[in-house]
Amino acid sequence: MAITAVEELNILHSTQLIIKEALGKMGYSEEMYELLKEPLRVLSVRIPIRMDNGEYRVFQGFRAQHNDAVGPTKGGVRFHPNVTEDEVKALSIWMSLKCGIVDLPYGGGKGGIICDPREMSKGELERLSRGYVRAISQIVGPTKDIPAPDVMTNAQIMAWMMDEYSRIREFDSPGFITGKPIVLGGSQGRESATAKGVTIMIDQALKAKGIPLHKARIVIQGFGNAGSYLAKFMHDSGASVIGISDVYGALYDPNGLDIDDLLSRRDAFGTVTKLFPNTISNRQLLEQDCDILVPAAIENQITMDNADRIRAKIIVEAANGPTTMEATRFLTAREVLIIPDVLASAGGVVVSYFEWVQNNQGYYWSLEQVDSKLKEVMVKAFENVYNVHISRKVDMRLAAYMTGIRKMAEAVKYRGWI
């Protein structure tokens, strides 16, 4: 299926193409594709906020709910200047796929606000967070749609959102949102869950390739929440982290980086490279020789423009959509094992589900229990996707989409929607 470069870089369009192919491979009808190719509902909101200087700014926000045939929708809220409605739609579909892959009773949701939190005060961020909840309060809730942290949002922002929702509903609602501080009903292990899930995927991928973990050389693009935790987990496991990056550049040392020192220097947004003079570009970092490359930053980082220069044996996608469809096919043909984002980064939603369950029960688990349950879920998910990859002779991304979309398609059929 030939596609143009512009189409390939549009994440909603490229997601729809893979969904169409996955449903076709499994024998579902064109009507099923027509239902699942777009979210069932998308809310666009305008949020007026008083800034610290007394002036008012109006922020644009979105909330997309892809499909609730399986259960309530679930997905993060991102604060970023480049948020678009198409991006939020695509990410809600990816959340549906993630939930299907790890067998959770959820559909996918996603939210976003066009803003730059790096240029806002704590008070402005709190007012924006509360304003967003007021704007979307009619379509979210513990049994409707459960938000969570995403790009440039954190436990504090989740706490403000939970408090605002509880005020609106006039009762305490910890199950409305996940990724909260522990003291407000958050789960042990939630903050590092995405990175812990990626760590489990790396371990499974290395076993599939026959590479011992202690001999693995790892490059991580991105040093935010997922990237920094992952670097620490890999370093402590005995692997050699030879490259990391942030928005300002990248650090590379074939003999391994001092991860503990870098973690002590990074700021709240994961910035550390500007403290060092000898940096390389993010693009150059992607092309370094390594065993495992982990794109943990933003989408469309590995394309047909640079795929022929990628020298990793394994790519584990901690970011959303870092590798385009054509690059995936090209690298798979070169026997590069790609663990796609909808599988690799599913640890976050798994532990968000654990948090929601704990909130509903009023009974909370230890970190050891959370980690044990997460590993069980993630290993099973990897095995299911890898088996489809081998048995159906499709790339890992298509295998993941086939695995992830099946549960939702079957729920749609049983409900009689299609």
As a whole number of angstroms, the distance between CA 407 and CA 414 comes to 11
User: Strand 292-295 vs strand 217-221: parallel, antiparallel, or unpaired?
Assistant: parallel
User: What are the residue numbers of the active site?
Assistant: 110
CA nearest neighbour of 151 among 285, 319, 267? 319
Query: Are 96 and 408 spatial neighbours (Cβ–Cβ below 8 Å)?
Result: yes
Residues 6+ away with beta carbon under 8 Å from 308: 330
CB under 8 A, 24+ apart: contacts of 310-313: 310/286, 310/336, 311/287, 312/219, 312/336, 313/209, 313/211, 313/337
Tokens of 367: 């970190």
Query: Are 219 and 312 spatial neighbours (Cβ–Cβ below 8 Å)?
Result: yes
Q: Which helix (H) or strand (E) holds 404?
A: helix 396-415
Backbone angles phi, psi at 56, to 5 degrees: -105, 140
Backbone angles phi, psi at 63, to 5 degrees: -145, 120
